[in-house]
Amino acid sequence: CLGFMEDVSTLAADLQRVKPLFLISVPRVFNKIYNGIQTKMNDAGGAKKKLFDAACAAAKKKRLLALEGKSSLTNNIKLAVLDKLVFSKIREAMGGRMEASLTASAATNVEIANFFYDIGTPIYDCYGLSETSPAVTMNCPAAHRLGSLGKVLDGQEVKIDKSITGENSEDGEIMIKGPNVMKGYHNKPEETAQVLSKDGWFRTGDRGKFDSDGYLYITGRIKEQYKLENGKYVFPAAIEEEIKLIPSIANAMIYGDGKEYNVCLIFPDFEYLKKYIAENSLPSDPAELVKNEKFTGMLEEQIKTNLKKVFGGYEIPRKFLFITEDFTLENGMLTQTMKLKRRNVLQHYEKDILKLYK
């Protein structure tokens, strides 16, 4: 039996209705679930929050000890009790039967992946493309490394081509060969020749690397990388994913190709921010909110504070454009695989983006 989510907003009800054994989705959905749980626990406070924190700490301790091949009987007993009191209720809210989840399109944030692993519903990240039918690498119970996209599936070959990035680079373009790779794009010989070599290697356009144990990691998208005016390369997707981990941000897009500095389009999570808006007597209309300096200033500070932990100063956006419409399939801002159509977004907001450089 297969069930399909009607919309992200109906996810909670859909999980109760379907009670899935496995949930297949994109990382953004798990980000929302995680943020929702954290917000609910923080709002609850008191004994409920203390129990939640204790359960998380015990689960984390068990996971870290397991990595060293160790175990603690005392901690295991403690976790078993806290699991019934805390984590079982979270699993019940997710349908009560979920064994694991599968994601594609991007690797799940490690902190979020750790959380779902700890509560007993691990996320197995995988990698593939339409042109590769689609799965190429996958995590599974027998071979699972958080933060990676898993190991290469049987019958396929994957190599890292450093001709674009340089031989001394840690990463390069991911190339795939195998019976799952397409024969070509229908009636498009020129496009086919650009991505498919004569001996069957498919150029994915993705940058990646393998660790010493054969787990694949995605580091960026070659077509999306650009140089700032100072000659430094920027990989916007990595910065965007970090921004979207902030609960108050629903979506983001970085721009700065050939410019002096990066700028960023931000679609706030207005639903999540309802409490903040009410407590600060701010206007409820999104069109007014995105012009409110207190509101936008708070979000800018959150973004910059979070990015400083991970990225260099030149990568962090200097100015922001706050928008009232999310990037969706319906407005032409996303592809069918939920990836940004950057050109469409830039065309739509071109005048406002250019103002950020004046």
Is pLDDT of 182 > 80? yes
For 14, phi then psi, to 5°, come to: -65, -40
Return residue ranges of the chain for CATH 3.30.300.30: 226-355
| Dist CA 312 CA 295 (whole Å) | 25
The 3-class secondary structure across 194-228, one letter per residue, is HHECCCCCEEEEEEEEECCCCCEEEEEEHHHCEEC
What CATH homologous superfamily does 226-355 map to?
ANL, C-terminal domain (3.30.300.30)
Is pLDDT of 69 > 90? yes
Is pLDDT of 333 > 80? yes
Angle at 247 between CA 59 and CA 219, to 5 degrees: 75
For 111, phi then psi, to 5°, come to: -60, -40
b/e sequence 191-205, b meaning 16+ C-beta within 10 Å = ebeebbeeeebbbbe
Is pLDDT of 351 > 80? yes
Amino acid 253 reads M
- 215: number of Cβ within 10 Å: 20
Return residue ranges of the chain for CATH 2.30.38.10: 149-220
Question: So what's the pLDDT on residue 32?
Answer: 87
pLDDT tens-digit map of 87-144: 999 999 999 999 999 998 778 888 999 999 999 999 999 999 999 999 999 999 999 9
Question: So what's the pLDDT on residue 106?
Answer: 76
| Dist CA 63 CA 114 (whole Å) | 9
Return all residues near 102 (Cβ < 8 A) that are at least 6 apart.
Answer: 22, 23, 24, 25, 123, 124, 126
Return all residues near 278 (Cβ < 8 A) that are at least 6 apart.
Answer: none
Q: Of 158, 144, 154, which Cα lies nearest the Cα of 102?
A: 144
Question: So what's the pLDDT on residue 8?
Answer: 75
Question: So what's the pLDDT on residue 338?
Answer: 78
pLDDT tens-digit map of 223-244: 888 999 999 989 999 899 899 9
- 357: number of Cβ within 10 Å: 13
| Dist CA 289 CA 342 (whole Å) | 25
Residue with tokens 């049987």, as numbered in its chain: 154
Is pLDDT of 17 > 80? yes
pLDDT tens-digit map of 250-309: 999 999 999 999 999 999 999 999 999 999 999 999 999 999 999 999 999 999 999 999
| Dist CA 329 CA 110 (whole Å) | 27
Give the pLDDT band of residue 167 (cuts 50, 70, 90). confident
Highest CATH level, class, for 149-220: mainly beta
What's the half-sphere exposure (Cβ side, CA atoms, 13 Å) at 306? 18
Beta pairing, strands 135-138 & 151-152: antiparallel
Question: So what's the pLDDT on residue 339?
Answer: 83
Torsion sign across C-alpha atoms 303, 308, 314, 318: positive
Amino acid 27 reads P
